[in-house]
Structure 1
Amino acid sequence: MRRFPRPLLLLPALCALLLAGCSTIGAMSAWLNDQVAFTSPQLQRYVDRRFPRSFDKLGGLVSVTLANPRLTIPPGDSRLRLEFDLGLGALGGEGATTGHLALASGLRYEPATQGLHLDAPELLQFEVPGSGELLRGGSRAIVNSLLAEYARSEPVYRLDDDLLAKLPAGKRIGTVGIERGVVVVHLDR
């Protein structure tokens, strides 16, 4: 029978101990310095699962379809940018996705959804090819009401239950900001 040197026998035990320690450190450091950060790719994966989506407006007379979301955080900006391919349909029909919609927005935390929601979204671009100025103005009003409704009810990202369970005692979610290209959720007392 071959004998292994003692240090080699201790190696598996040491690895197991380190792995257990890492998971404990991960739980403790989830809210390191009373904040947690999310990157734009993390938010992008969340919104990718939620689109395409269609919304009926004006009692079903107009249908707005948003598809292919693209979420970015421009360098040096304190707001995220969200772009969609846009389709408009009339009388219950889905329109071809021929337009483009871009918005900039801050973020806020909503306890009811445990999510990060758009905060004061600003419409940056709204293009519907081939439409006259009157349609463009009416369509813009529909899109603005859609954005307000979406910002109120739908999160751009939902904090998972595991992360929320690791909140330090006596702390709650506070402000949400975009700092150095990442979304930062701060804790308050």
Structure 2
Amino acid sequence: MPLLSRSLFLSFIVISLIGILAQLPSLHDLLEWDRQAIMAGQWWRILTGNVTHTNWTHLAMNLAGLIILVFLFRFNLTACRLATILTILGCIVGLSMFLTELGKYAGLSGILHGLFIWGACLDIRQHRSGGKLLLGAGLVKIGWDLSTGGSVETAALIQASIAVEAHLAGALGGFVLACAFNKVQSHESFNEV
């Protein structure tokens, strides 16, 4: 059995290519989450801001995190489910940025926190060892981010402050998606009986 299904691996490649293309200056300026541009009617930025990054190091860190999470939660992921989760979490994170003072936002980390919490919750439901530990670690990480403002070292690497609000929004979105997923799974199981 391969480490990742072909469809999940191809999904990761597509997401990586989108992230790389979004780093091109002309596209980056068109896709970045920008409060004023969104308020002027450029609504796509709510979602596309998540695929832009402050620099190449930021993109590499986020893609490394994504491949680790896809591998970690591969038993609950299909290419379609991954695309759906990333899109919904992207909208949640993008919309939540209006609750902050930020004028601009870039990065996938809010979505990654959501995917992490989603996967940990599903692992708990499926009685996988380590699910509770993962969820606890995720909650501690988010609490630490909120209390400290995030890692100073990471902020230096990405040349921007850490948008800890995006981490919280993503995590809350991941929890809601896990609950919805559990409800759908329970409903499908009930209908099979």
Q: Same fold (TM over 0.5)?
A: no
Q: Which of the two has greater strand per residue? A: 1
Larger Rg: 1
Q: Which of the two has greater helix per residue? A: 2
**Structure 1 length normalisation: TM-score?**
0.28
